[in-house]
Structure 1
Amino acid sequence: MASAFVLADELLRLQEDELEIEHEVLIDTLDAEEQAATVDRAVDAVAHAPTSVQQSEVYGGLLSCIKYAASLRASACHKLVDAVLSGMQSVVDELAEDEAPSLEALERYAFLLQYLVQSLEKHRSQWGGAPTRGKPTGDGWTWPSSIPPVLATMARALRALSERVWEATAVRDTFVSRCMLRPATLLLENEAYCKVPAIKNGLFRVMCLGVKLHGQAFNVQTSILQSLQYYEHLAELMAELLETMRVEFDVERIAEDVLRDLASKTFTSLDSKSPRSYGRFLVRMAELNPRSVLKQISLLQTHLDSESYPMRNAMVEVQGLLIKELSMNEDFAPAAADVDDDDERPGSAHQKQIEMFFGKIFERFLDLTTFVRTKTIQTCMALCELPVKFAPQRLQMAALAVRALEDKGSNVRRNAIALLIKLILTHPYGLLHGGELNKSAWEERRAVVQTELEKAESVLTFPETEAPEQEDTTDRRKPRKSALDLEALAASQQSMTQEDQEKLVKLRLTVQYYTDALRFIELMEQAIPILVQLLASTFKAEVLESMEFFRVAHEYKIQGAMDGVRAMVHLVWAKDNALVMEDGSQLKGIRSRLIEVYRALYFDAYPELSRAENVARISRNMIERTFGATLAELTSLEQLLSLMQSERMISDEVIEKLWEVYAASRPIAKAQRRGAILVLSMLATADRALVADKIETLLQIGLGPLGMRDVTLATHTCVALQRVAGSAKKVKGALSDANVRYPMAHPLFARLRAAIQMPVSGEEQKAGWFSLAEHAVQAIYLLGEQPDALCTEIVRQLTLAAFDEECAEEAKAFRFAQLLFVVGHVALKQIVYLELVERELKRRKAVKDAADGAEKRASELDQVAGNAEDEIGDMIAYIKDRELLYAPQSLLGLYGPLVAQICSAPKEYADVYVQRAATLSLAKLMCISSEYCDTHLALLLHVLKSAKDPVVRANVVIGLGDVAISFGTLVDENSERLYAGLNDGNLGVKKNTLMVLTHLILNGMIKVKGQLGELAKCLEDEEPRVSDLAKLFFSELATKENAVYNNLPDIISHLSSGEHAVEEDVFVNTMRFIFTFIDKERQAENVIEKLCQRFRLTTEERQWRDIAYCLSLLPYRSERSIKKLVEGLPYYQDKLYSPEVYKRFAEILTKMRQGKSTAQAKAGDADLREFEEILAQTAAQGRDDQALEHAAHAHVARTERKRAQRAPRRKVAAS
């Protein structure tokens, strides 16, 4: 027999690595056969007699096998594990049946088992792969496959053995805590094991039995808290363990103790790992056992103010779960809006708790951390799903969500939009009248019920007596009111029947219901303008959420939702890339989502309608999209419908219905017929056959009698005819013309000519004629085989009409304007046509050369073809430059001098239409010939400066943009005159100037010569369209290499000083935007150096403040950036006495510290503190110097005043 065995001593020796083994076998020195024999001897001994473990040879052999387990084969380890488990089970069974074997055998087996778990777990990588949910595959043994039997044996021992087995409690505690619970805790540390149900349940069972039957609550509680602190994967698992204890083993106190311990902990902002783990534990506890959390919530709420945001996150979510628990309680009943709380009412305590929790959650909408604000909104979304609606809190929720739409965090804004959507989808105002939220309808309903309520209340007449004045200060603060005669009130109420009283209460509740609904609707409408802006966000996720909001709001009939639906159509130009979010979910492309939203709103069939009714509804929806739409909206809608048509999303029946509306013989609204042809022309951009097969219809309707009476309809018809030519984009370098062309004898050209020459009367028709003529000429040049011949005849006919002596003076002026307009537009289209002629000539030449030169070598053929193409190009260029306007027989040449004469004499040719048409024609003619352009550019610039008509100025700006495309050098030399339009008082001129400059600069047609400051001013323009265009310009300019960086000094100088300087707040906002594009470290370093040097060249305090502010906007991520700022100290040290300048440098120091990592912060903090002290000392010295200087000036001033006062006295004395 072995010497006396003391479990505690053996465990201590093992822990200190001082375990001595009698009869130790050095298994790691044996070969495989000898190792197997050693294991077999020990296993056979135990199998034959479990109590033989008390023999030193057997026990020593087992310990040796466990100690050197890493040297054993898998089969040997498997035998060893089975032997220890079977031996222990036998001893446990005998002890349970009071057969009273030696307790020492049990303790030896317990020691062997815990030692075995430690050893195999230490070398687990050697014994097979990760644990699996089923049986291990193959013939090889793995350690994870034996863990469930090990845990089952432990649980069996804990369940079977009672405390009477041990003579002393300390011995039992050692056995349970060290040999049972500690191995279980060790296994819990492996995250992979916790994912296997058999292992997880076994671990739970061991720990629960230790607490329930063997008084190990304190040990388990300590283990849980340590696990939460060091192992993140155990957060939810520990909550599940505590719930298993409560449900299956009726042990609840330990959960409350853990919660109390957790409540007493404090966390700093530097703690990262443990707060996340504790927070996840709390959330899981609130899900599984909210009652225990509720009991400790008063203590736990201290974490709402924790420095660590994960704890604040968790507490927000916990309180949301507690609200859910309380609201699902059978005793809970929401208080009515007009009923005071009564402590005796069932559920009133729960109601107060819920209101308190809501208040705490709503406070977190103002949390400093974006993550907490986001979690708060997500918690509110979860609360919206509850059966109880919490109407008062929902209104608060909606108001806070609307405010959160302007949060600086994109994720907060996105979730705020999602919350608004959830509030609409789950709103509690659909019980009486369905779910629609149309404000006008609800106001009418409230007005009706309010009238009924007033009638019902008028029956009650309350005699009033004047209330005596109260001296109490509390009553004095209240408004004075008449006191009711309570006896008269009681008598009046008794006179009412029970039915009348119930009706009165119902009416009051209904009015409150309608009032709440209207408040909710108003909040949704307040969100709409902000959400329209968010549609243009650079963050894709919030754009998609905004689109979903407008889809839902439109379905619920919320007024103003149409603004968003119209605005989102511009998203059709967005890049359609998918986006993977942080949670792994994939967002659709914006354009794809836009098509889905529009399909859902306007194109999906209603199941309750017939096929014909759905076709009519979809057609009507498409037409209505054009009503009141701007040109930009129509352009985007065209792109959207074109995409949908290319994907065959619009049925042929709908298209046929649109043609029916367009060609309807019965009188219909003009807008409907116009809308139908507009939509058809949009669809035809993807499929020209839509209109190519209906040319006859277009001529009969749009260019027939109806079109003659409706200029707008005729214009849209001309646009549709242009689609007949096809919209295939020309491949760069291709010589073929893909457009479909018709002989000039085709009837459509006669109709187009008639449309241009149609008589017009009235201002509306006159204004619309110019657009008609533009599109008609465009159609002629797109579709005709010889368009120039027809247009020549049209110009001649218009000339005869304009100089008709019998025509009235007013009509003659308009005809003259018509002539000038057509001349200019024909000239512009003739250039495009000549380019097509050039391509066709080159194509024919290439075909001919290919046929004639089959015998020539390829190199010779290429040379000949290249020379021929150059000759053709030179010929066409000569025609454009010298013949179109200067040839003796040129028709356009007759009008060049005339147009210039009219533009140079606005007083003589004062008619507004004449001046506008002449200016446009001048710009278009200048696009033809460089000589004509050079001669008349000064005139066009003079018109831009002196014209009083803003339309003329706006047209000149656009014209200059076109001229710059043809002759960029000439415009570039006079570009400063073009920038003047940015200061024009007319919005249209300013917007056009900005658009043209954006186009010319970004495409490299004109160079920036220090005028970017004027463009930067537009960033803070009062008109959103101008400021948005300016932001777009700088965003695109920033993609050009160093473009913003190179011009930054000029921008700062332009805006900070001189005649162009802006207000300081405007400068601040402008620079804040522009400096977002200075994101490269090297750029930032150079800007810091240049700005520091700029201090020495300035004398005004305003400029110092501006420079200091610019310095504070830069990132200080590198040591070089900080070094540049420190080295620049001599340039700005004498300016630090200014409070605003010093404040900016203090902000820079804060940014430096925040931008450093923890290691860098410790290393460089001393240097920063030294720099901070130097700044503070220099600033203080500067303030003292300034004070001394002011005192000196004051002393000099006083001396001068005294001297001046004494001078008259001397003169008097002398006299």
Structure 2
Amino acid sequence: MSTNIGVLIPHFGGESYKIRNALVGVLGKLAAKAFKDVEGDSNARLRSKQAMLEILIERCRDVSAYTRSRVLQVWSELCEENSISIGLWNEVASVASGRLEDKSAIVRKSALQLLITMLQHNPFGPQLRTATFEATLEKYKEKLQGMEPSNSDKDEAANDSSPGEVIMGQDESVSDSCLASSQDQNDRDATIVDITNLEQIRALVASLEAGLRFSKCITSLMPILVQLLASSSATDVENTILLLMRCRQFQIEGSEAALRKMLPLVSALWDYFCFNINGVRPVQSRGALSILCMAAKSSPSILGNHLQDIIDIGFGRWAKEEPLLARTACLALQRLSEEDKDKLISNNSRVFAALQGLVTSFSIPEKIWYGAADKAISTIYTLHPAPELFATETAKKSLSSVFSVLGTNDVSNGDEAQNGASLSSVSPSKLGRFLFVISHIALNHLVYIENSVRKIQKQKRKNEKSQPTTEDLQPDVSKSLEAQGINAELGLSATIDIAIESLAERAEKEIVCCSSEKNLIGHCGPFLSKLCRNLALLQKFPDLQASAMLALCRLMIIDAEFCEANLQILFTVAESAPSETVRSNCTIALGDLAVRFPNLLDPWTEYIYARLRDPSVSVRKNAVLVISHLILNDMMKVKGYINEMAVRIEDKDERISSLAKLFFHELSKKGSNPIYNLLPDILGRLCNQHLKEETFCNIMQFLINSIKKDKQMEALVDKLCNRFAGVNDVRQWEYISYCLSQLTFTEKGLKKLIDNFKMFEHALSEDSVMNHFRSVISKCKKFAKPELKICIEEFEEKLSKVHQEKKEQEETTKNAEAHRQRIDSLDEFLVTKEVSENSGNSAEDETSEVVDPSVDSSTEHMENTPECSVNTSAENSQTTAPLTESEGGGEEIQSAQPVSKGMSRLRAKKTRDPVVDPSVDRSTEYKGNTPEHSADTSTENSQTSVPLTGTEGGSEEIQSTQPVGKGVSRSRARKTRDPVVEDSAAPVRRATRSTRRQGS
């Protein structure tokens, strides 16, 4: 595109400024990137780039303000990418300086931003003082003049080239040498680079001259910047202030004086705060005071001259119209300088009365009162010389204002019923305010004690350091020092520190413990604890519950015994409170308690992590912040519940997800990356949480990507492969194999994966698992050496073979299971049918036996019978057992005896006698002439046939099939072995042996 730029240039003459803006952007991109790695003549490339930059300079005078602004923005981009040569640097700075007086605000804004960017990326050094550049330039010019006579020929050759070409062609290292020579004026003689080459010295001199011109250009802008501070455009003022701050950073002459011109802006804020301007509203007054409080952080003295205005306006009638004004006034009083604080106390100002009235009155709306009272109590402890006494008085007034409905006699009366009736008339909102005041006073008193101890220790160290160390000491002083040295050797100094700490612990304990008569709020602790345990009452008054739980948490932070006694109720409310505000406050308090009493909170770690599962976005966000703070600052150990934090990576709320990712990113920087050690445990716990597959994959991908070391990746291969052993859940197979696919495999890691093949062989039957291993193989093939590729291909073939075998085995198992299920369903159907038939044939089973006379001569006429068919119906049985019994003869008799399921032993005995046919002895003679003897036995309801064989003394064997019901014993089967021969018409009855003999 750069070779066809001539096609685009004519469009700069078009009327549309949007086209010109687009062309300016194109030229900027081409000048920055199109000529870096292009082959060809370097001089031609340089000339093309120079032509584009000249067009951009010319476009700074475009008729359209939008185009002029766009050109300056493009120059800022080129400056950030270091695409502006030193020779062109001052020309661009001059153009930007001229645009500061442009009639368009957007152009002035872009010009100011360009100058800020040029200061940030200037190639001349971190200090741009004009005097520094002048001194360094003078020394190098003298050195150059001393070398010129001896190098006259070279000098003439150098004069043929223009100074601009020297500047354009110089390397960046020249400017670096300039930086080294101009960082510190005091050491300038030592930092001047010893350069003997004439060309290098000339380039350095040219660079110093360019830096000097740039410094003078910025210095000359100070009057214009002062004028812009008074501009009616807010963008002019804002960007001018930013540029002046940057000039002050680079030590530009006149920047400090220009910054002082900002003071009229501060006076304008006071005019707004004091209502000196017509039409100012209380909201604007509060905003002005807020800005002044911000400024007081770096310069507290700006508040001293208007101290009385802060008191009169902040706590006067305007505070009733704008309640937040009182809170801002309290913040301003806290940021007073030490001199102003002493002045406030010495003048016996009414500020403390105003603060006490703010805490105890009910004129401010409840939603705003809590913030104002918070700052008011903190201000009392900041300013008052004896805050414990004044706080006690404030607490008493608050108590009397809340319980004003009770008389002194009622409170001291021992009748609990009467006291309960009186207390029931207390307003919940007033009671909530009283509990807030009491708890906040207690917390501030704890801070006051700690600060007092710190001051004592600091003063003690200061006295020890300020002791005289000279040898010329008076005898008394020497003896004093010797005594102090002896005390130090004996450990008496440490004893003093222990005594101070003991007094501090005692003072802290007296805040909540009610054993002392002088304690501040100790008697409110038991009352507050009982109130918070009355969950039924607090659920009726959510605001009271919020105040009560906040007060309880503050008192728990103060005293360890009180904390231990109320931990149970705190966790209960943190989990089950209906208000998310209460749960959020409890979650934040748990973090503070974990810092102050880590041993008490250690057994409750699981419940702290449980706050990450809260349905409220606010509670989850606070839980993430609290746990992140505790773990990253080594206040709480990373235990087995860190998976709850990992789940928050895929939280529905984007803010929580970002905080969780930031936590693991910072955790990966600690030590040897704890995420590596936590990953297997996180994996196991996430597998049991029934997460969506996409959620699980995103979490594990983020965690694995935070592991960078190859050794840790190789060790993870072993750990993940070992997790396959003993796991039969397909879902866990998929998760583990996915984690393997996300690892970065080295040659050692791949060998470990191959060696652990037996660990995951059983999981290869799943297609998803196989796909993950294919992904691993495809990754390894990309970096593998030729000899390693052979191993990878063999491993791939092995995986495919095992996968196919597992699939076939799985298919066979499925078919067998389906067949078994069909058989089971058929059995259930037959059992149902059997039960119904048994109920219908119960009468027939009890009748006498019927003997068919035709049985006697059946054997004799067997030869003439075409076919003998014996059909045995065993519909009421489940198991058919063929039985064979020997009876003295040598012939085998085929019989089928149906036995119903559940047949009694008595019925079995009645049917156990065999049927003996006298013609059996002659059956062998006719055996050869018998066409075929078939016995069709119907066993529709049976599943198993048990063949039993017996001999009856003869030489021939007779086959018999005896159906036996399911569950019938072997003895019962023998008793029921007699055949039942059915005729086509007459029923067959069992014949006894005597009857058969008579018939024969």
Note if 1:321 corresponds to 2:2.
yes
Cα 1:605–1:1179, aligned 2, differ >3 Å: closer, same or farther? Answer: farther
In structure 2, the residue matched to 1:703 is 315
8 Å contact 2:327–2:372 — kept in the other structure? yes
In structure 1, the residue matched to 2:300 is 688
Q: CA deviation at 1:1188?
A: 2.6
Q: CA deviation at 1:759?
A: 2.7
8 Å contact 2:226–2:258 — kept in the other structure? no
**CA distance in structure 2 between the partners assigned to 1:426 and 1:1129 by the alignment:** 69
Is the partner of 2:231 in helix, strand or coil? helix
Q: CA deviation at 1:782?
A: 2.1
Residues 295-317 of structure 1 deviation map (CA, whole Å, 9 limit, x = unaligned): xxxxxxxxxxxxxxxxxxxxxxx
8 Å contact 1:707–1:714 — kept in the other structure? yes
Runs of at least 5 residues in structure 1 that lack an aligned partner in the other structure:
1-319, 337-353, 362-370, 373-378, 390-421, 439-554, 562-576, 578-582, 587-603, 626-643, 728-737
Q: CA deviation at 1:915?
A: 1.6
In structure 2, the residue matched to 1:1053 is 684
**CA distance in structure 1 between the partners assigned to 2:257 and 2:587 by the alignment:** 36
Q: CA deviation at 1:426?
A: 10
Is the partner of 2:536 in helix, strand or coil? coil
Note if 1:979 corresponds to 2:609.
yes
Is the partner of 2:521 in helix, strand or coil? helix
Q: CA deviation at 1:784?
A: 2.5
Cα 1:699–1:645, aligned 2, differ >3 Å: closer, same or farther? Answer: farther
* Equivalent residues in 2 for 1:193-592, closer than 5 Å: 320-328=1-9
Q: CA deviation at 1:1203?
A: 5.5
Q: Which residue of 352, 372, 376 maps to 1:749? A: 352
Note if 1:907 corresponds to 2:536.
yes
Q: Which residue of 1049, 1063, 1079 maps to 2:708? A: 1079
* Equivalent residues in 2 for 1:646-685, closer than 5 Å: 651-665=262-276, 666-685=278-297
Q: CA deviation at 1:967?
A: 0.8
In structure 1, the residue matched to 2:327 is 715
Q: CA deviation at 1:606?
A: 12
**CA distance in structure 2 between the partners assigned to 1:800 and 1:1169 by the alignment:** 87
Residues 401-427 of structure 1 deviation map (CA, whole Å, 9 limit, x = unaligned): xxxxxxxxxxxxxxxxxxxxx9xx999
Cα 1:618–1:676, aligned 2, differ >3 Å: closer, same or farther? Answer: farther
Is the partner of 2:813 in helix, strand or coil? helix
8 Å contact 2:777–2:792 — kept in the other structure? yes
Q: Which residue of 387, 392, 399 maps to 1:799? A: 399
1086-1095 or 938-947, larger mean C-alpha shift: 938-947
Write the letter of the residue equivalent to 1:854.
Answer: L
| CA RMSD after TM alignment | 4.8
**CA distance in structure 1 between the partners assigned to 2:64 and 2:591 by the alignment:** 60
8 Å contact 2:228–2:236 — kept in the other structure? no
Q: CA deviation at 1:650?
A: 8.1
**CA distance in structure 2 between the partners assigned to 1:1079 and 1:754 by the alignment:** 61
Write the letter of the residue equivalent to 1:817.
Answer: G
Cα 1:1204–1:876, aligned 2, differ >3 Å: closer, same or farther? Answer: closer
Residues 84-143 of structure 1 deviation map (CA, whole Å, 9 limit, x = unaligned): xxxxxxxxxxxxxxxxxxxxxxxxxxxxxxxxxxxxxxxxxxxxxxxxxxxxxxxxxxxx
**CA distance in structure 2 between the partners assigned to 1:939 and 1:681 by the alignment:** 40
8 Å contact 1:915–1:952 — kept in the other structure? yes
Is the partner of 1:721 in helix, strand or coil? helix
Q: Which residue of 754, 759, 767 maps to 2:362? A: 759
Write the letter of the residue equivalent to 2:713.
Answer: A
Residues 875-901 of structure 1 deviation map (CA, whole Å, 9 limit, x = unaligned): 211221245433233121021112212
**CA distance in structure 1 between the partners assigned to 2:449 and 2:352 by the alignment:** 20
Cα 1:1166–1:917, aligned 2, differ >3 Å: closer, same or farther? Answer: same
In structure 2, the residue matched to 1:123 is none
Note if 1:1033 corresponds to 2:633.
no
8 Å contact 2:225–2:258 — kept in the other structure? no
**CA distance in structure 2 between the partners assigned to 1:325 and 1:334 by the alignment:** 15
Q: CA deviation at 1:1114?
A: 1.5
**CA distance in structure 2 between the partners assigned to 1:833 and 1:683 by the alignment:** 26
Q: Which residue of 449, 467, 470 maps to 1:834? A: 449
* Equivalent residues in 2 for 1:1-20, closer than 5 Å: none
Q: CA deviation at 1:988?
A: 1.2
**CA distance in structure 2 between the partners assigned to 1:1205 and 1:606 by the alignment:** 106
**CA distance in structure 2 between the partners assigned to 1:1209 and 1:974 by the alignment:** 62
Cα 1:667–1:895, aligned 2, differ >3 Å: closer, same or farther? Answer: farther
Q: TM-score, normalised by structure 1?
A: 0.47
Q: CA deviation at 1:1197?
A: 3.6
8 Å contact 2:222–2:258 — kept in the other structure? no
Write the letter of the residue equivalent to 2:385.
Answer: E
Residues 982-1029 of structure 1 deviation map (CA, whole Å, 9 limit, x = unaligned): 111111111111111111222222223211111111100111111111
In structure 2, the residue matched to 1:941 is 571
In structure 2, the residue matched to 1:1191 is 815
Write the letter of the residue equivalent to 1:822.
Answer: V
**CA distance in structure 1 between the partners assigned to 2:580 and 2:362 by the alignment:** 27
Q: Which residue of 437, 447, 472 maps to 1:822? A: 437
Q: CA deviation at 1:1082?
A: 2.2
Residues 792-834 of structure 1 deviation map (CA, whole Å, 9 limit, x = unaligned): 1111111110011299999933222111111111111111110
8 Å contact 2:439–2:555 — kept in the other structure? yes
Q: Which residue of 509, 512, 515 maps to 1:881? A: 509
In structure 1, the residue matched to 2:336 is 724
In structure 1, the residue matched to 2:726 is 1097
Is the partner of 1:614 in helix, strand or coil? coil
In structure 1, the residue matched to 2:494 is 866
In structure 1, the residue matched to 2:788 is 1164
Write the letter of the residue equivalent to 2:724.
Answer: F
Is the partner of 1:1115 in helix, strand or coil? coil
Percent identical pairs in the alignment equals 26
Cα 1:725–1:1124, aligned 2, differ >3 Å: closer, same or farther? Answer: farther
Q: CA deviation at 1:1182?
A: 2.1
Residues 1131-1188 of structure 1 deviation map (CA, whole Å, 9 limit, x = unaligned): 11222232221221122223223345xxxx2342222222222222222222222223
Note if 1:1068 corresponds to 2:697.
yes
8 Å contact 1:615–1:653 — kept in the other structure? no
8 Å contact 2:651–2:657 — kept in the other structure? yes
8 Å contact 1:740–1:783 — kept in the other structure? no
Q: CA deviation at 1:653?
A: 1.7
Residues 1046-1097 of structure 1 deviation map (CA, whole Å, 9 limit, x = unaligned): 221221112112xx23111000001111112222222222211111011122
Between structure 1 and structure 2, the one with the greater Rg is 2
In structure 2, the residue matched to 1:790 is 390
8 Å contact 2:442–2:521 — kept in the other structure? yes
Q: CA deviation at 1:860?
A: 3.0
Q: CA deviation at 1:436?
A: 12
**CA distance in structure 1 between the partners assigned to 2:721 and 2:576 by the alignment:** 43
**CA distance in structure 2 between the partners assigned to 1:435 and 1:998 by the alignment:** 48
8 Å contact 1:718–1:775 — kept in the other structure? yes
Cα 1:1179–1:917, aligned 2, differ >3 Å: closer, same or farther? Answer: same
Write the letter of the residue equivalent to 2:709.
Answer: K
Residues 587-618 of structure 1 deviation map (CA, whole Å, 9 limit, x = unaligned): xxxxxxxxxxxxxxxxx999699667438947
Residues 179-210 of structure 1 deviation map (CA, whole Å, 9 limit, x = unaligned): xxxxxxxxxxxxxxxxxxxxxxxxxxxxxxxx
**CA distance in structure 2 between the partners assigned to 1:860 and 1:1017 by the alignment:** 58
Write the letter of the residue equivalent to 1:748.
Answer: V
Cα 1:848–1:1027, aligned 2, differ >3 Å: closer, same or farther? Answer: closer
**CA distance in structure 1 between the partners assigned to 2:236 and 2:618 by the alignment:** 34
**CA distance in structure 2 between the partners assigned to 1:662 and 1:767 by the alignment:** 24
682-691 or 752-761, larger mean C-alpha shift: 752-761
Note if 1:855 corresponds to 2:482.
yes
Q: TM-score, normalised by structure 2?
A: 0.56
Residues 636-695 of structure 1 deviation map (CA, whole Å, 9 limit, x = unaligned): xxxxxxxx9999688212222222222224442444222222221112111111223332
Cα 1:1173–1:790, aligned 2, differ >3 Å: closer, same or farther? Answer: same
Residues 549-578 of structure 1 deviation map (CA, whole Å, 9 limit, x = unaligned): xxxxxx9999xx9xxxxxxxxxxxxxxx9x
Kindly indicate which of the two structures has a greater share of residues assigned to helix: 1
Write the letter of the residue equivalent to 2:666.
Answer: E
8 Å contact 2:510–2:519 — kept in the other structure? no
